[in-house]
Amino acid sequence: MLVVLKKQADASALDELIRELDRFGFKAHVSQGVETTLVGAVGKGPTPEIMEHFRALPYVAEVIRISKPYKLASLEVHPLPTVLRFPTGATGGGHFLVAAGPCGVESREQTLTAARYVKKHGGRMLRGGAYKPRTSPYSFQGLGEEGLKILAEARRETGLPVVTEVTSPHLVEPVAEYADVLQIGARNAQNFALLKEVGRSGKPVLLKRGMSMTLEEFLMSAEYVLSEGNDQVILVERGIRTFEKATRFTLDVSAVPVLKGWTHLPVWVDPSHAAGKREYVTPLALAGIAAGADGLIVETHPRPEEARSDAAQQLNEEEFAEFMSRVKALLPAVGKALDAAALR
């Protein structure tokens, strides 16, 4: 349920409410607005009697049942958009960010080259997998810790924060030592042990939608992270499985406005994994922006033809520069711009 405090309620009233919620077995999540204080009370479904009890408290204006199965992710509990801020820019609430880089970290030279031109063309976060969740056990699995060190070096040099995938609960701690944002891949989007662990890490989480997940299931996965006390989650639509074979997956463009109507969390689009072919990456990214996305994550490699994973969908520098100029041209039409935050 959601408890709305009266405008004149002070800090001691809020403390008292939190204690009272605790007594009834609810965990309180406070959103302090300019005018009103909302307290999301998460626990076992409140009975009408319990709701009546809280409604009768002198400092309570209203008690509302949260109708959705996801609570902390819902706009009902948190009506203002969540904004995630990084040294290079922000996402959510009108802020727009592009994360770009190779599918996998393959070498120091490859990653540093990509990081330099990503920054030059307006990318504000560096992506790159050090642990790759590959469909085949015989495919390139990533450089592991060596890859994390290369990403950290690229961050030191360019100032770009780093997003990289974590594939297993026991890797959360070591990956969090190097990464600024922990990525949960589509194949792990319902790995609940992993979601809880990244929730406890305190690091921002970039959560990909599973390829066969409904949007409600997607938000329930985000809820696992939020329920551990971590409210910094970016949702990424990266294409779902359909019968169509012309693209690798089918970008579910409607996921963007639907999610924006259900949740306060930033919603991004990954056109690379949806398309699977480089010629479709830019149009899908533009469709995502037009639909209301708060950011993009896109793959680029200095020499895509030599890439050890996802070669067909990675843009080279020239293509990435063109991609960025199309993105920059469209953003003002939706009232957004690339954050101009200064880079080191």
Q: Is 310 in the site for Mn ion (CB under 5 A)?
A: yes
3-state helix, strand, coil in the chain (%, to 5): 40, 20, 40
Q: Please name the helix (run of DSSP H) or strand (run of DSSP E) that holds residue 236, with its range, or none.
A: strand 233-237
CB of 312 vs Mn ion, minimal distance in Å:
10
DSSP codes, 188-212: GTT-HHHHHHHHHH-S-EEEEPPTT
Q: Is 238 in the site for ligand PEP (CB under 6 A)?
A: yes
| 37 vs 164, beta carbon nearer ligand PEP | 164
Residues in 184-213 that interact with ligand PEP by CB under 6 A: 185-187, 208
Residues in 51-90 that interact with ligand PEP by CB under 6 A: none
Antiparallel, parallel or unpaired: β 97-101 and 295-299? parallel
In this structure, what are the phi and psi dihedrals at residue 233, rounded to the nearest 5 degrees?
A: -130, 130
CA 319, chain centre distance (Å): 25
Please name every residue paired with 208 in a beta bridge, in sequence order, or none if there are none: 236
Of 3, 118, 94, whose CA–CA distance to 53 is shortest?
3
The only residue of 92, 129, 204, 302 in contact with ligand PEP, by rule CB under 6 A: 129
| Residue in the block written with tokens 């809820």 | 223
* Stretch of 21-29, 196-204, 244-252, 309-317 contacting Mn ion, by CB under 5 A: 309-317
The only residue of 273, 278, 301, 308 in contact with ligand PEP, by rule CB under 6 A: 273
Q: Is 275 in the site for Mn ion (CB under 5 A)?
A: no
Q: Is 265 in the site for ligand PEP (CB under 6 A)?
A: no
| 77 vs 103, beta carbon nearer Mn ion | 103
Q: Is 256 in the site for ligand PEP (CB under 6 A)?
A: no
| 46 vs 147, beta carbon nearer ligand PEP | 147
Both tokens assigned to 194: 């992993």
Of 152, 178, 182, whose CA–CA distance to 165 is shortest?
182
Partner touching 155 among Mn ion, ligand PEP, none, CB below 5 to 8 Å by kind: none
Spatial distance between the Cα atoms of 260 and 31, rounded to a whole number of angstroms? 18
Q: Is 147 in the site for ligand PEP (CB under 6 A)?
A: no
Q: Which chain residues interact with ligand PEP by CB under 6 A? A: 103, 129, 133, 185-187, 208, 238, 270, 273
In the complex, the residues that contact Mn ion under the rule CB under 5 A are 103, 310
